[in-house]
């Protein structure tokens, strides 16, 4: 393409007659290149807009996955369309802060659990003032606890860590990982002595009244976690 442009330019300079003949073609070529560049930019911005329909926060890695280079994010910050949350992390201008998304951001080993998962799943109306997260045993969660002092970390055996983990949207619309209801029921039964009594009762009664409950998974999880007999006792009375 560059050779073509150089060739056309030489012809234009040397031959005045050829100038009139080739200049329109050169202009069309230039316009087409500009149009293609603008189309690509438009496609990338459309991808970014679609991404922000799902989440208020984006990282450099996530942006690159949808074809957005880092310099474009930096440019959008300068234009006031994005805000830099921290190095390599951006959010939409004036977007409401999402604590759930901020906690899970760049922390692939974090799953919301217990009280916090119950809230995300709609089985508790108590807005979390302490965020409960589960991580696999051996995972160093020190950096999360330092940044978010209102975090309660639960360490889970690696064999059970992914059991019942799902993706769910926060109230603001950001996708995060949390345990499903069957896993939550098992967890609060396991830790019932440390669970708020009202939260425990609301979760248990709400689950067994729910049309979306999955008893097969509940039994499966309880068997894996070693509490099948206890779960069956609750099933008999609820």
- Structural domain boundaries in the chain: 23-92, 99-237
State phi, psi for 89 to the nearest 5 degrees: -130, 130
Is pTM, for the whole model, over 0.85? no
pLDDT in tens, the chain (238 residues): 444 444 444 444 444 445 455 555 556 555 555 545 544 555 566 788 887 777 777 888 888 888 888 888 888 888 888 888 778 888 877 776 788 988 998 788 999 999 999 999 999 989 899 999 999 999 999 999 998 889 999 999 999 999 999 999 998 888 999 999 999 999 999 999 999 999 999 999 999 999 999 999 999 999 999 999 999 999 999 8
Q: Residue 222: what pLDDT?
A: 98
Q: What pLDDT is recorded for position 195?
A: 94
CA distance readout (Å), 229 to 167, 189, 222: 29, 11, 8
- C-alpha distances (whole Å) from 47 to each of 52, 65, 68, 80, 220 are 9, 10, 8, 19, 40
At the top level of CATH, the class of 99-237 is alpha beta
pLDDT value, residue 123: 94
């Amino acid at each position: 393409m560059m050779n073509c442009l150089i060739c056309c330019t030489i012809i234009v300079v040397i031959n005045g007659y050829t100038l009139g003949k080739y200049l329109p073609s050169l202009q069309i070529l230039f316009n087409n290149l500009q149009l293609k560049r603008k189309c690509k930019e438009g496609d990338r911005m459309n991808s970014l807009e679609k991404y922000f329909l799902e989440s208020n926060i984006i990282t450099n890695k996530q942006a690159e996955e949808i074809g957005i280079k880092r310099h474009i994010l930096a440019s959008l910050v300068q234009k006031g369309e994005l805000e830099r949350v921290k190095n390599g992390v951006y959010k939409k201008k004036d977007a409401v802060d999402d604590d759930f998304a901020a906690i899970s951001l760049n922390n692939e080993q974090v799953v919301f659990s217990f009280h916090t998962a119950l809230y995300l799943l709609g089985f508790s109306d108590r807005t979390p003032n302490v965020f409960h997260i589960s991580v696999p045993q051996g995972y160093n969660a020190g950096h999360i606890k330092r940044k978010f002092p209102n975090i309660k970390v639960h360490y889970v055996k690696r064999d059970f860590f992914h059991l019942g983990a799902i993706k769910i949207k926060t109230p603001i619309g950001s996708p995060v990982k949390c345990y499903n209801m069957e896993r939550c029921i098992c967890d609060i039964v396991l830790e019932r002595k440390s669970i708020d009594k009202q939260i425990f009762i609301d979760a248990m009664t709400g689950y067994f009244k729910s049309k979306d409950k999955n008893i097969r998974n509940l039994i499966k999880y309880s068997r894996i976690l070693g509490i099948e007999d206890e779960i069956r006792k609750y099933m008999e009375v609820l």
